[in-house]
Structure 1
Amino acid sequence: MNNAAYSNLGTKVGMTQIFDTDGSAIPVTVVKAGPCMVTQTKSLSTDGYNSIQIGYYETSFKALNKPLLGHLKKVNAPAFKHLREYKTELDSKFETGQIISADLFSVGQMVNVTGNSIGKGFSSTQKRHNFAMGPLTHGSKNHRAPGSIGAGTTPGRVIPGKKMPGQLGAQKTTVKNLKIIDIQIDQNLILLKGSIPGKRGNLISIKPSN
């Protein structure tokens, strides 16, 4: 089965710990994986590549615009807040309307989780890039200043890409090779060893590790 067969959208529930047979505590992140619905399929002959589009998290039809409403009503799908597309192999068996849930994963499997990291606002170079502090005594007024950012008259401008203060966090982040410790199929819950990006309620994408 190809990678997209296991790909799923979910929500971060929170972190806790469980105990193995030896009594050791294992930190885990609880993820609600699906259920998701296949809302569209694409093929190499008609679209130039093979993929599926899945929808997750039902909402009100009033929250969607008319093009999206027409797209979902065409396949008799509910109002999904999130839509994502995943590429598939040539032998994909997915069909429009198919439900994808947590039972496609297995205990012990390694997965990659992608989501937006927690936003930390406008941050200094010390917090954002781990710059060193300036002298704190002897009348120094250069405690947290970034220092020189240019090369003088030539070229007479700041070179793009300099490490400077700015927005920290709130970026697309992927944590790889997380082990599935347990699966509760009746509630679509997956317990992953370790932490994943974002805060509670954050939308995440789960894919198998290659």
Structure 2
Amino acid sequence: MSGLIGKKVGMTSIFDENGKNIPCTVIEAGPCVITQVRTKETDGYEALQLGFDDVKKANKAATGHAKKAGTVAKRKVVEFQGFEGEFKLGDAITVDHFAEGEFVDVSGTSKGKGFQGVVKRHGFAGVGQATHGQHNRLRAPGSIGAASYPARVFKGMRMAGRMGGDKIKVQNLKVLKVVAEKNLLVVKGCVPGHKNAYVIIQK
């Protein structure tokens, strides 16, 4: 599966030929340098290791690894299996690898929202109304189990806790525009992560 490493720039909207306003996300996709070529003879599988976003100060291991490919150490390194096309060590893959109108999958880490209650985290409605003397139950979780039997809380019970910060893949996003001179990819809809967050684009 071919792909690129990118960085989320932000969201905007564009108009199509019918005058409809379409929300879209702008991604800085590449250029990515091939930092290693995995082969069945040496590694037991075939893959291409891509690096994106230069590191100004890196350790000797990362510097030496990137030097073999004739580049500098990269901040984000990802392997792609089943890559389309013939590439060799040190080649740069740009946003031209994608075409307008095709569909891609974008994966990244969602925004972290900290410790949240059941209303925000799971969409609970709270307990009852604000009448009959209930002054602090509007956003409460309610009952979480029985008493003497089973005398415990079942695993998987939806409760308050840490929300966000999960790996999420959004599939079948249409590529609306490819701006090759600025390494920008405009896809329809939203992708996970905050601004400047790393994302992986696959097709």
TM-score, normalising length: structure 1 = 0.88
CA distance in 2, matches of 1:27, 1:161: 35
| Aligned with 1:126 (options 119, 136, 140) | 119
Equivalent positions of 1:1-210 (< 5 A) are: 3-4=1-2, 7-60=3-56, 62=57, 64-88=58-82, 93-135=86-128, 136-140=130-134, 141-208=136-203
Distance 1:30 1:92, change over 3 A: closer
CA distance in 2, matches of 1:75, 1:183: 27
Percentage of identical aligned residues: 42
CA apart distance, 1:154? 4.0
Count of aligned pairs: 201
Structure 2 gaps, min length 5? none
CA apart distance, 1:174? 1.1
Please identify, of 146-155 and 9-18, the stretch whose mean Cα deviation from structure 2 is larger. Answer: 146-155
CA apart distance, 1:132? 1.9
TM-score, normalising length: structure 2 = 0.91
CA distance in 2, matches of 1:45, 1:92: 20
CA apart distance, 1:56? 0.2
CA apart distance, 1:142? 2.6
Distance 1:79 1:155, change over 3 A: same
Amino acid at match of 1:200: K
CA apart distance, 1:9? 0.5
More helix by share: 1
CA apart distance, 1:31? 0.9
CA apart distance, 1:15? 1.4
- Structure 1 segments (4+ residues) deviating >6 Å: none
Structure 1 gaps, min length 5? none
Query: Secondary structure of the residue that 2:41 maps to in structure 1?
Result: helix
Query: Secondary structure of the residue that 2:51 maps to in structure 1?
Result: strand
